[in-house]
Structure 1
Amino acid sequence: MSFPMRLCALVVSLLCLPLCLVEALGLCRILKRIAPFRLSRLSSTYNKTMRGDKRQLFRSLPEFRRAGRRLTILEIGCGTGANFEFYPPDSRVICTDPNPNLQNYLRQCMDDNDHLTYESFVVTSGEDMGSVEAHSVDVVVCTLVLCCVNSVEQTLREVRRILRPGGAFFFLEHVAADRSTWTYFFQHVLQPAWRYYGDGCKLNLETWKHLESAGFSELEMRHVEAPFMSLTKPHIIGYAVKAET
């Protein structure tokens, strides 16, 4: 990171000190309770904008159904269920999210998507899915979540653990911009403030590097520019396959 970028990021960090105090006092718990309403609105807007990309991505889901069995999908950070409408009929869905306050919104979304069977809702983070049996699911889905986890590496290790051999990890994530752009500069400068606005979201992650080194046998990924504000325009979309043996 260049010196001017470090200096500007430091200034923003100093301006965020009152927010640090609020977090230290535990007052952010209130935000966790209203987060589902805000997330529901944002998810609806995102789906309208990215519907074509999501349809294209999830069109490949049935390829990972085992012969004679229903497709089992586990979604990390399911939020308010924005992806459910894109899942194939008769799929079994396991929902995970660290925020238990989402369940009322999820119930409504489940009622609206009765082409699916919902197995359970597990309150947990992506880094710690120990309650999910190893090699037990066909597909893991993660959209706009890796930017918020504490450890992308550990989350991907958990993904590979719970996927059956030959299963796939589907992802859609906003990422860091090209290092030669002003977007990259402002992603780093504004990150200290964005963390509070985005509930822990990181603007400047080069997530594709973690995927490339995660040990999947196949990685289908493309970089796209989503039609959003410049800070969140850069996206990656695709899927990674766990080796058969």
Structure 2
Amino acid sequence: MHGWRARIGLIIPHVNMTMEPEINSVLPRGASAHAARMVIPQLDPAGLVTMADDALRAADQLAELDADAVVFGCTSGSFVGGQDYEADLVDRIAERVGCPTLSASGAGVQALRALGARRVAVATPYDDTINQRLAAFFAAHDLDVVKLVGLGLRDRVANFPLARTPVSAIAQQSEEVVHRLARAAVHPDAEALFISCTNLSTLGIVAELEKDLSIPVVTANQASIWAAFRAAGLGDSPAALGSLGRH
């Protein structure tokens, strides 16, 4: 039987092709992950709020899973309405699933605090409309964004094309592009680098980034996995989690 040790539920956008493979790549023996999907009409604040409303329907699909932890696996969809919005969204999902629940953005905050970082450099695939909301979300959690670099991506059907090939897709899936974006975001005053978006492929290069940039790196999927493992009572610390795995 799968998940005899721990079961983790994921609530992800219908276009997300990255979070499931990344968590499955580091799940320890006896643990399993199971996803429900929510629909996002477009990648802008209004579309993200609409998607978050659909998260409750997705949560109902996970209610019978008897999960040990559930992750709202969309970073921008959780921070888009601010600190109170994220907390309320997590609470509403928790009521449906009946187990510890967290969001990707909330996990990012937890991870940065665990690393003792207050001054943060940020790299995202978003445009300024969404980037400004991320900076405000971090500020509400007493995190100082010393530099923020975004790819400026925006698409009618959110990041669906971004999960495939040409141009914008390369930005979502290419480790080279993520590495370059991370380098562009680093600032001398930053105590850690945060890379947002659960549809960015980051887990495979966290260790390399930390070596090359000489700074702790937190990514949306890495932080979500770390926080979900803790919430589910898993003591495993995969090497792919980098510095964060030692906290």
Give me the TM-score of the superposition, normalised by structure 2: 0.35
When Rg is computed on C-alpha atoms for both structures, the one with the higher figure is: 1
Greater relative CO, 1 or 2 (CA 8 Å, sep 6+): 2
Higher strand fraction (1 or 2):
1
Decide which structure has greater helix share.
2
What TM-score, normalized by structure 1, do the two folds share?
0.35
